[in-house]
Structure 1
Amino acid sequence: MSHPITLSGVTVAWPDGSPVLDRSDAVFSTGRTGLIGDNGTGKTTILRLLAGELAPTTGTLTRTGDVAYLPQQLTLRSGMSVAGLLGIRSRLAALDAIEAGDPDPRHFSLIGDDWDIEARSRALLDATGLTTVGLDRPVETLSGGEAVLTALIGIQLADTSIALLDEPTNNLDRQSRARLRDLVAGWRGTLVVVSHDVELLELMDSTVELRDRRLTAYGGPYSLYREQLAREQAAAEQAVRTAEQTLKVEKRQRIEAETMLARRRSYAKTDYLNKRRPKIIMNLRKAEAQVSAGKLRDDLGKAVDAAECTLREQESRVRRESHIRIDLPDPEVPAGRRLLELVDAHGTAHIMQGPERLALTGRNGAGKTRLLETLFHDADTYPRLFAHTGRIGYLPQRLDHLDDGQEVVESIRAAAPAADPQQVRANLARFLFTGDDIHRRVGDLSGGERFRVALARLLLAEPTHQLLLLDEPTNNLDLNSIDEVVSALSNYHGGLVVISHDEAFLGRLEIDTRLELQEGLLTRS
């Protein structure tokens, strides 16, 4: 059976020479495939490899059709129209020229069989909910969600047999995510999606994991991958216990054999000293015993070595994931303490008090980020926002508030200047920064590591923040990193306001209140 994408012994490396893939074999079948893996493992690099933007260092990569690639960040040139983003501008221009009476054969060649391209484009835009998006509209006037959906429709119109999507739901609101899932659910051909959106990953026909410089395929969507992985890990844990027991038995047998040999030597020495048998016979038996003992020791040593080797092999199959674990100081927020008051355009007040968890939702462009920035920077000067505490921590989307020139430990000390240096080191270890890692420059960190620094600054600040403001904290985070965020925030007992379109994440945070921002109005949802 042929596959649209096949990798045979492929090695591909980062610019510094370290491998992303190391002699890996993999196939991507027709249908929808979710490509998952931890931050920094190289998922985007793999998509660029599949797209043909990168070449394997060794091995072969074969594709059976044309490829379309949607990167994480769309490059939307100023002056580009929606028709340009759809990739149909030149065909529409050729149609216009023919209708104007220009018989140039190049126009007919360019159009080919796509005489209905305008009608098909309009139909797909309308079916996706983009009824107000005209073909002549400048792309810079589109929201992020509208731009991504339009680019996806362009890939459909191009009718390539292989499509590659890199984190397509980033920054999309709930409605845009639902429309994108509808597009993906009806996709024909081969689709490879890098995403941390569990709802999107549930639409996949198969899941491929990038881990330890290998691509491993699992049948089914993300939930089935988790089930398979859980079974594998349970079997691996059992195999480790069995190997440990086998090693104990082999070591005990070796000790028992050595004890028996020592006793025999003692008895033989006594017989020799007492001259119970002729000297020549005793010397002969001594030589035979030494040969037998040497063979026994060799056999037992090999058995122990084999058992230790088996144990190491089985232990290598068990995943030892590191997670953020930290006991946070009490932010001193009693249940009745008023933290925040939001007054919408109709004068309706929404009061947040105690260790409440509030989700701020709404469509892209509704002003959610601007509201959080106002709360953090100058709530006292804004007539509709009242912060009743000055101890507010803010985690922006882009993490551009970090000083790239600082070491990790310096960045944390800046948030807690009076903290004991040893305690800072201990806390950094709980955020998975140990040894020389704490002296790495923030600018040299991976995206996931950079996020952990930002989260540590937020949660380890002194005095402890009584109110945290988080703006799309799961953007560009892998699923394990999202687990770490949930784990860290589960120990926080202050107020929390979070903007997120990730429903699975919000569900795990155990949100108390949901407010939707729409045209300046805040409504409970």
Structure 2
Amino acid sequence: MLVLQNISYLHPNKDLLFQGINLILNSGEKVALIGNNGVGKSTLLKIIAKELPISNGQLLVEGMPYYIPQVFGQFNHLTVAEALGVDGKIKALHAILAGSVIEEDYVVLGDDWLIEEHCYEGLRLWELEGVLLSDSMGSLSGGQRTRVFLAGIFIHRPDFVLMDEPSNHLDSGGRALLYDFVLNSQCSLLLISHDRKLLNLLHKVCELSKDGIRVYGGNYDFYKEQKVLQTNALLEDFLSKEGALRKAKEVERESVERQQKLDARAKKKSAKGGMPKIVANSWKNSAENSTSKMKGIHADKTSALSEELRVLRSSLSSIDRVKLRFDNSELHRGKVLVEADGINFSYSDVLLWSSPLSFKFLSGERIALKGANGSGKTTLIKLLLGELEVHSGVLNRAVIDSVYIDQDYSLIDNSLSVFEQALSFNRLFLMEHEVKMRLNRFLFSAADWNKCCGSLSGGERMRLLLCCLEIASQSPDLIILDEPTNNLDIHNIEILTSAISGYEGTLIVVSHDDYFLEQIGVDRVVLL
């Protein structure tokens, strides 16, 4: 069981990250923790794993959770056994088998005489047959390192598992193993992920925001349905408040005009004379005070309504605001863009593909490139872009305007400010205010324009690049997306999905995220 009661966390510089976090996780529950980048999801997981101290509140965890972090670079200098926390027992076992009678070796090993077998069985379950306990973690790929820590669940048999973006570095095969584990495991699970397919396997969704945690009693699709209902209610409230504000301003204008007519009539009477001066002045002062009071009452009302509208507007989804609005590609649909006949590529005289590739890509298609890690997806992209030349076969490429977008959105120049980056794509010489209007539509307010691009999050980099493509105006004939969702939270994945859905040119996507591929309308899969 896990109980969080009024948890808060302050950064070392005393900035408050979150407060008032309350959550109960019962034995056997499988729960997703979601929320926008920067709200503190990973920090909360580290607190539960007791890797970070809480600033306030109470934390109760039965047993020691098994924690799989998102980033593994800190383990690169360790062996697989050390990273899994079994190196002491392995050394003690080998020492005893070699004849050691030192009592400490027996104490360290305990009853785990089969620890080495269990470790290799765990690695085998996650298809790491070639990995040794003595191997360096730094020598493994990102996907292999993730699988090592997943194998640790079998080795340590914890009751409670914490996972931070476990599918990030996994290929399709690794994700299939992960999905199977989540479905069949008896462990309590709390995991952070933007993998919607994985999230749909869980019993409950907890959304973390600056206001705390909101619990939804269902999987991700259920959560989305509830969010739609909330958004519709917000929209109705917004429209109602907008109407009330218009009405209030209209009433204010009519009331002020009526009072001004009364004041004018009073002044006119006073000017004609026949009225004692003290009465005339009193009448004048009373009229002015009445007008002032009326203006104050209406100003308070309209100000309150305006503030309510501002809060509601900020709560409404920003997804629909971010659309790619540029000219369509001038290529007619169905034109042959790339044609390959028996192509292959070799590294150190070793052919990359056991069978040469032959294919044809047409204008307007939406193609997913799939395959296990190391199957040559990135190499094929470089061949398509002309950055590499085939070593055998024939590859014909039409002369087209293409854009390659990798998972780090490297087309963004880290040395530029947000506004300077946007200007660098301003080939149509738009006026400065027009560029700023587009930045605002892609959720960059005036406060963001001078930010250094190097400090932007993955989602911000994605939105800025989409904005730059729109500012450039002419639609590229081909957009290649290489794992575009890896560094994005769910909110920004949905923004990317919505934006790219409006693109009418040719799309080639490398992604293990089947949910994303389905949402953007991929109609053809090329499997390597």
**Contact preservation (8 Å) 2:323, 2:502:** no
The alpha carbon displacement at 1:102 in A equals 0.9
- Counterpart among 422, 425, 450 of residue 436 in structure 2: 425
Q: CA deviation digits over 1:266-291, x for unaligned, max 9?
A: xxxxxxxxxxxxxxxxx9xxxxxx9x
**Contact preservation (8 Å) 1:95, 1:111:** yes
The alpha carbon displacement at 1:177 in A equals 0.5
- Counterpart among 21, 25, 47 of residue 25 in structure 1: 21
Question: Match of 1:215, as an amino acid?
Answer: I
**Counterpart in 2 of 1:497?**
508
Please tell me whether residue 395 in structure 1 is matched to residue 405 in structure 2.
yes
**Counterpart in 2 of 1:226?**
224
Please tell me whether residue 321 in structure 1 is matched to residue 321 in structure 2.
no
Structure 2 vs 1, CA of residues 176 and 246 (structure 1 numbering), >3 Å: closer, same or farther? same
**Counterpart in 1 of 2:454?**
443
Structure 2 vs 1, CA of residues 409 and 246 (structure 1 numbering), >3 Å: closer, same or farther? closer
1:306-317 → structure 2 map (5 Å cutoff): 316=311
Take 2:78 and 2:500, find their aligned partners in 1: how far apart are those partners? Answer: 42
Structure 2 vs 1, CA of residues 5 and 188 (structure 1 numbering), >3 Å: closer, same or farther? farther
**Contact preservation (8 Å) 2:428, 2:472:** no
**Contact preservation (8 Å) 1:12, 1:55:** no
Question: Match of 1:59, as an amino acid?
Answer: N
Question: Match of 2:194, as an amino acid?
Answer: H
**Counterpart in 1 of 2:57?**
60
Take 2:417 and 2:215, find their aligned partners in 1: how far apart are those partners? Answer: 38
**Counterpart in 1 of 2:362?**
353
1:30-45 → structure 2 map (5 Å cutoff): 30=26, 31-45=29-43
**Counterpart in 2 of 1:476?**
487
Structure 2 vs 1, CA of residues 124 and 426 (structure 1 numbering), >3 Å: closer, same or farther? same
Corresponding residue SS for 1:402 = coil
- Counterpart among 93, 104, 107 of residue 106 in structure 1: 104
**Counterpart in 1 of 2:172?**
174
Take 1:399 and 1:231, find their aligned partners in 2: how far apart are those partners? Answer: 33
Take 1:177 and 1:366, find their aligned partners in 2: how far apart are those partners? Answer: 16
**Counterpart in 2 of 1:408?**
418
Please tell me whether residue 510 in structure 1 is matched to residue 521 in structure 2.
yes
Take 1:459 and 1:516, find their aligned partners in 2: how far apart are those partners? Answer: 31
**Contact preservation (8 Å) 2:417, 2:450:** yes
The alpha carbon displacement at 1:70 in A equals 2.0
> Which segment drifts farther, 380-389 or 506-515?
380-389
Take 1:413 and 1:311, find their aligned partners in 2: how far apart are those partners? Answer: 33
The alpha carbon displacement at 1:133 in A equals 3.9
The alpha carbon displacement at 1:159 in A equals 4.1
Structure 2 vs 1, CA of residues 261 and 449 (structure 1 numbering), >3 Å: closer, same or farther? closer
Structure 2 vs 1, CA of residues 228 and 394 (structure 1 numbering), >3 Å: closer, same or farther? same
Take 1:462 and 1:246, find their aligned partners in 2: how far apart are those partners? Answer: 39
**Counterpart in 2 of 1:152?**
150
**Counterpart in 2 of 1:272?**
none
Q: CA deviation digits over 1:417-446, x for unaligned, max 9?
A: 533142443433332224242332101222
The alpha carbon displacement at 1:495 in A equals 1.6
**Contact preservation (8 Å) 1:171, 1:472:** no
**Contact preservation (8 Å) 2:48, 2:61:** no
The alpha carbon displacement at 1:382 in A equals 6.0
**Contact preservation (8 Å) 1:250, 1:304:** no
The number of equivalent residue pairs is 504
**Contact preservation (8 Å) 1:167, 1:196:** yes
Please tell me whether residue 197 in structure 1 is matched to residue 207 in structure 2.
no
- Counterpart among 319, 326, 330 of residue 332 in structure 1: 330
Corresponding residue SS for 1:439 = coil
Take 2:494 and 2:415, find their aligned partners in 1: how far apart are those partners? Answer: 28
Take 1:399 and 1:259, find their aligned partners in 2: how far apart are those partners? Answer: 57
Corresponding residue SS for 1:477 = coil
Corresponding residue SS for 1:378 = coil
The alpha carbon displacement at 1:193 in A equals 1.1
- Counterpart among 30, 49, 54 of residue 51 in structure 1: 49
Question: Match of 2:462, as an amino acid?
Answer: F
Corresponding residue SS for 2:338 = strand
The alpha carbon displacement at 1:244 in A equals 6.7
- Counterpart among 387, 398, 401 of residue 378 in structure 1: 387
Take 2:243 and 2:476, find their aligned partners in 1: how far apart are those partners? Answer: 49
**Contact preservation (8 Å) 1:459, 1:465:** no
- TM-score normalized by structure 1? 0.80
Structure 2 vs 1, CA of residues 390 and 333 (structure 1 numbering), >3 Å: closer, same or farther? closer
Structure 2 vs 1, CA of residues 458 and 173 (structure 1 numbering), >3 Å: closer, same or farther? farther
Structure 2 vs 1, CA of residues 314 and 394 (structure 1 numbering), >3 Å: closer, same or farther? closer
Take 2:154 and 2:30, find their aligned partners in 1: how far apart are those partners? Answer: 14
Question: Match of 1:425, as an amino acid?
Answer: K
Q: CA deviation digits over 1:480-516, x for unaligned, max 9?
A: 2112212222222222111000001101121122111
**Contact preservation (8 Å) 2:3, 2:59:** yes
- TM-score normalized by structure 2? 0.79
Corresponding residue SS for 2:449 = helix
Corresponding residue SS for 2:380 = helix
Structure 2 vs 1, CA of residues 261 and 432 (structure 1 numbering), >3 Å: closer, same or farther? closer
The alpha carbon displacement at 1:219 in A equals 1.9
Q: CA deviation digits over 1:93-117, x for unaligned, max 9?
A: 2112112221212112212232332
**Contact preservation (8 Å) 1:328, 1:491:** no
**Contact preservation (8 Å) 1:69, 1:165:** yes
Question: Match of 1:495, as an amino acid?
Answer: T
The alpha carbon displacement at 1:401 in A equals 4.7
1:223-262 → structure 2 map (5 Å cutoff): 223-239=221-237
CA RMSD, 1 decimal? 4.2
